[in-house]
Structures are given as C-alpha cells and as structure tokens.
C-alpha cells in the first residue's frame, strides 16, 4: 500500500466531503415468482447472485459525480440524455442549495443513472433483481404474502408527492438493503421493455399491451397492486425523462 | 500528446469537440459514445457514420420471427426511395444480442439474407452498450428465459448529423409516409 503524506490525505478528505464509498450487499438470488412472468405466461424468473447498493444514490453522491464528470452537469448534458428538468431542484449545476445531501437524488434520467453506476463499476439492476430485492422485509427474503408488507408498500403511494423526500437510511432488510420501498421510485436497466408483447410478430398486440398494462399482460401476483403500479409507471417513461420522485441505485455481479 | 494551439484549446472548451469540423447537434444520437463492430470485424465509433443518411434498426440474428421481416422491410423501403438519392442511403442493423451475435454470426447472417454489403452494415455493440443505444433510438427489448427476445420493431431514419428524422412501426410492407421522409432527407441541401 502506498503511504500518502498527511496534508494530501486531508485534502482528499476535504474534496470527498461526506461521500464515502458506497456499500453493496450480497443477495443470493434464485428462482423468483415475479408479477411479470419471464415468458409472458407463468415462468418464474431466475436471478443470479448479485450485489445491490444498500441505499439509493444521494444528492451528495450525485454532486460528487457531476463534479468529476462535468458532461453530466445540468448545464452541459446533451438533451438526448436528459430532459430539461434534469437536476433542476439543485441551486446550481454544482451546488445543492435546499436539496439535502442525504436525500436520494431525483430528477435524473435513465442515461444519467446508468452513467453514475458505470462510474462505480456497477450497472442498474434489472427489473427482476429490483423486484426480488424489494420483496424482502426485516426477517424474510420474500414477505410479499404478508398483508402487513403490502400495506406498508401501499401506504407510501398514498403519501402526497408534494411532501419533501425523506433522507436515506431506513431500517435494513434481511439482506442489509434499505429504502427499496417508501422513499423514491427507482430506475431499472430494462425499465422500458417490461410490457413489450411476448410475440413480436404481433405489433398491434404489443401496442395494446403497452397501453392497457395490467389488464392486457398476463401478470401473476395480482394482489401486489403496488408492484404493478411500479411497472406501469416505469413503462410509461422514456430514458431521457426525469421526475420529482425518480431516483436509482446500482447493482454489481456477485 | 501534442501541444494544442491556445485558440484550439479554447475552441475545444467552448464546443466540447476539439477537432470536428462542425459541432455535433445536441439532439444527435452520435452524442452517445459507443463502438460498433461490423460483419468484417472492423470496429469504429458509432459517430463515424456521421455524414450518411441511413435507416437503422436493432435485431438479433437467431431471431426467426419478426427480425427477418425488419430486414426485408429495410430492403423494400430502400427500393421505394427515389433515384439518385437511393444510392446514398445506408442500411444499418445493430444486434441487441451481442453475447451471441459474434462477428461470424453477423457475417453468416448477411450471406444467408443475401444482403448487398455495398450499403448494408450489420453490427454488434459491446454488451454494456446495447441497452443505451436502444434507449436512444427508442427501441425496446427484453430477453426471455429461452434466449429469445421480446422487442419492438421499428425502422428509424437518421439524417447526416444523426438526428432521428422519422420512424415507422410498419413492418412487412412499405410505409409511404416514411419513404417520403427518406426522400426528403436525401435531397441535396
């Protein structure tokens, strides 16, 4: 290991500010009954072991990223990668202002989220990885059968979106992951492909599925309205879109 | 690295592009830095296709359903384009299955489909780049457990600067409106 002179170390600490290296928790994966059958009928998803960021990416972390990747500043980003509201809640392209450092970053496009994850040598989780992770509670890897789990997830949806976002750092689940439900919506890698029809020859059918959502696609676990709503919301977005409540976290292979 | 003349350095700061003759439009798909490798194994930046009017779609070569129809529709559309502009129209099919679509697979596909390689290019992105490229083009795909894909099927018209000038989801026959858009894009400016 190289030994850095003390002043340089202090400078590094100053520059890095409150941002420490992100934590990733290992998740074992396995066979998972998604609300979205893998084959459009009934097949469960197979999820390889992976690691998931324990918390959503925060304003402070994303600020550090745009400082080292100025092409992702809101005043420099190409419009093919982010809409005009990208990071518009920050005081300046390189200053948070009223946005709290520990709040999850929102108003980030899919492209921006992806670029951030790449900078951490990671990627966005797939829908199946995210849904599988979010099924956990403090004691179980899959708590979805428990009405209390559903109630808690649904409760969040009834919170007015005008309320300020909570800061990250909720209670860890059985995997050590926090804030999957109840803080922000999160981008996934394949966000826009979830409702593509299962037979691509049938263009008309694919369109109907896109727009009829839960009614048209053969979905399982229909009691999980909250998860279905999330799929419908993700499917309505384009990769350049940014919204008040849309954040992200990253994943890595095991 | 050679030292840059100060004015060049300033120009590069202003435009973000040191050496391009004219800066890339902000809404150009060439803003995305990805490398495409063609059926002959030549790798070059996607942006190296700047200057050509082209039809673009994404497919995978083991696809037996709609992909051959996408390729056929690209052929038909080109045929429907007016001379002499037609000769300047390039066709590009990019794989969203680069794990399986090796350079060899692309070359075999080109031969099997009897593609005229004077204006056709089949290409594979690096695996990590397939999804961003598709997102940029507004195309969707999802891999199924059996290795097939669900995907949207569209032809996209790129102008010389890589702006999306038109798109059509009509597959299996020629979309007249789309052909008009191609003709217009090929008109000398």
- Is A84 in CB contact (< 8 Å) with chain B? no
Residue B157 is assigned to a structural domain of this protein: yes
Residue B1 is assigned to a structural domain of this protein: no
pLDDT along chain B (189 residues), means of 10: 45 44 90 96 97 96 85 96 94 96 97 96 95 93 82 94 95 95 91
Using CB atoms, pick whichever of B131, B138, B150 lies closest to residue A200.
B150
Predicted local confidence at residue A39, as pLDDT: 72
Contact (CB, 8 A) for A93 and A76: yes
What is the distance between the alpha carbons of residues A183 and B34, in angstroms, rounded to a whole number?
34
Predicted local confidence at residue A222, as pLDDT: 57
Q: What is the mean pLDDT of residues A98-115?
A: 96
Number of domains in chain B: 1
Write down the residue that tokens 């007249």 correspond to. B176
Q: Which residues of chain B approach chain A closer than 8 Å at the C-beta?
A: 16, 26-29, 31-32, 65-66, 69, 128, 131-132, 135-136, 138, 140-142, 144-146, 149-153, 169, 171
Reported confidence tier of residue A193, pLDDT bands at 50, 70, 90: confident
Name the closest residue on chain A to residue B162, using Cα atoms.
A80
H or E segment at B36? strand B35-38
Q: What is the ipTM of this complex?
A: 0.79
The four Cα atoms A37, A40, A110, B94 give a dihedral, to 10 degrees, of: 140
Predicted local confidence at residue A98, as pLDDT: 92
Please tell me the least confidently modeled range out of A84-98, A140-154, B8-22. B8-22
Contact (CB, 8 A) for A248 and A186: yes
Does residue A232 surpass a pLDDT of 60? yes
Predicted local confidence at residue B20, as pLDDT: 53
Contact (CB, 8 A) for A162 and A170: no
- Is A81 in CB contact (< 8 Å) with chain B? yes
Does residue A87 surpass a pLDDT of 90? yes
Does residue A176 surpass a pLDDT of 90? yes
Predicted local confidence at residue B126, as pLDDT: 95
Does residue A212 surpass a pLDDT of 60? no
- Is A90 in CB contact (< 8 Å) with chain B? no
As a whole number of Å, the CA-based R_g of chain A is: 19
Boundaries of domain holding B62 = 25-186
Reported confidence tier of residue A217, pLDDT bands at 50, 70, 90: very low
Residue B159 is assigned to a structural domain of this protein: yes
Residue B49 is assigned to a structural domain of this protein: yes
For residues A14 and A254, the model is more confident at A254
Residue B152 is assigned to a structural domain of this protein: yes
Residue B129 corresponds to which tokens in the numbers above?
């780049």
Using CB atoms, pick whichever of B16, B69, B152 lies closest to residue A206.
B152
pLDDT in tens, A25-59: 999 999 999 888 877 677 888 999 999 999 999 99
Residue B9 is assigned to a structural domain of this protein: no
Q: What is the mean pLDDT of residues A11-20?
A: 47
Contact (CB, 8 A) for A155 and A184: no
Please tell me the least confidently modeled range out of A17-31, A134-148, A189-203, B38-52. A189-203
Contact list, A71 vs chain B (CB under 8 Å): 16
| Helical packing angle, A127-134 and A225-235, nearest 10° | 150
What is the distance between the alpha carbons of residues B89 and A131, in angstroms, rounded to a whole number?
44
Predicted local confidence at residue B142, as pLDDT: 85
Residue B2 is assigned to a structural domain of this protein: no
Cβ distance of A193 and B66 shorter than 8 Å = no
Residue B7 is assigned to a structural domain of this protein: no
Does residue A240 surpass a pLDDT of 80? yes
Q: What is the CATH number of the domain that holds B131?
A: 3.40.30.10
What is the distance between the alpha carbons of residues A72 and A75, in angstroms, rounded to a whole number?
8
């Amino acid at each position: 290991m190289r030994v850095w002179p003390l002043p340089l170390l202090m400078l590094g600490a100053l520059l890095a500010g409150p941002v420490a290296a992100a934590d990733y928790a290992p998740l074992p994966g396995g066979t998972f009954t998604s609300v979205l059958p893998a084959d459009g009928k009934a097949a469960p998803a197979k999820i390889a072991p992976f690691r998931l960021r324990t918390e959503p990416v925060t304003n402070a972390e994303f600020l550090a990223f745009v400082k080292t990747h100025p092409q992702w500043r809101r005043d420099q980003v190409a419009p093919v990668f982010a809409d005009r509201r990208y990071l518009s809640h920050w005081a300046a392209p390189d200053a948070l202002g009223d946005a709290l450092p520990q709040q999850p970053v929102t108003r980030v496009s899919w492209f921006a989220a992806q670029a951030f994850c790449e900078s951490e040598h990671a990627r966005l989780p797939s829908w199946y990885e995210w849904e599988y992770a979010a099924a956990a509670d403090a004691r179980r890897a899959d708590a979805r059968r428990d009405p209390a789990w559903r109630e808690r997830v649904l409760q969040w949806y009834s919170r007015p979106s005008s309320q300020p976002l909570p800061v990250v750092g909720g209670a860890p689940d059985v995997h050590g992951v926090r804030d999957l439900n109840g803080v922000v919506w999160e981008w996934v890698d394949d966000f826009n492909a979830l409702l593509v029809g299962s037979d691509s020859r049938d263009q008309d059918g694919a369109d109907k599925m896109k727009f009829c959502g839960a009614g048209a696609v053969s979905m399982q676990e229909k009691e999980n309205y909250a998860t279905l709503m999330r799929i419908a919301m993700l499917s309505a977005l384009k990769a350049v879109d940014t919204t008040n409540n849309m954040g992200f976290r990253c994943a890595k292979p095991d | 690295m050679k030292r840059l003349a100060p004015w060049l350095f300033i120009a590069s700061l202003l435009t973000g592009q040191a050496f391009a003759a004219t800066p890339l439009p902000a809404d150009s798909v060439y803003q995305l830095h990805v490398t495409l490798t063609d059926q002959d194994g030549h790798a070059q930046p996607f942006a190296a296709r700047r200057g050509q009017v082209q039809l673009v779609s994404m497919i995978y070569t083991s696809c037996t359903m709609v992909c051959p129809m996408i390729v056929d529709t690209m052929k038909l559309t080109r045929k429907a384009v007016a001379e002499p502009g037609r000769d300047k129209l390039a066709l590009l099919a990019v794989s969203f299955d680069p794990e399986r679509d090796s350079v060899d697979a692309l070359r075999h596909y080109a031969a099997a489909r009897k593609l005229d390689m004077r204006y056709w290019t089949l290409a594979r992105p690096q695996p990590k780049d397939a999804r961003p490229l598709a997102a940029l083009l507004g195309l969707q795909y999802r891999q199924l457990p059996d290795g097939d894909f669900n995907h949207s099927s569209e032809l996209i018209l790129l102008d010389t600067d890589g702006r999306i000038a038109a798109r059509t989801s009509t597959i299996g026959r020629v979309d007249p409106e789309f052909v008009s858009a191609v003709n217009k894009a090929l008109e000398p400016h």
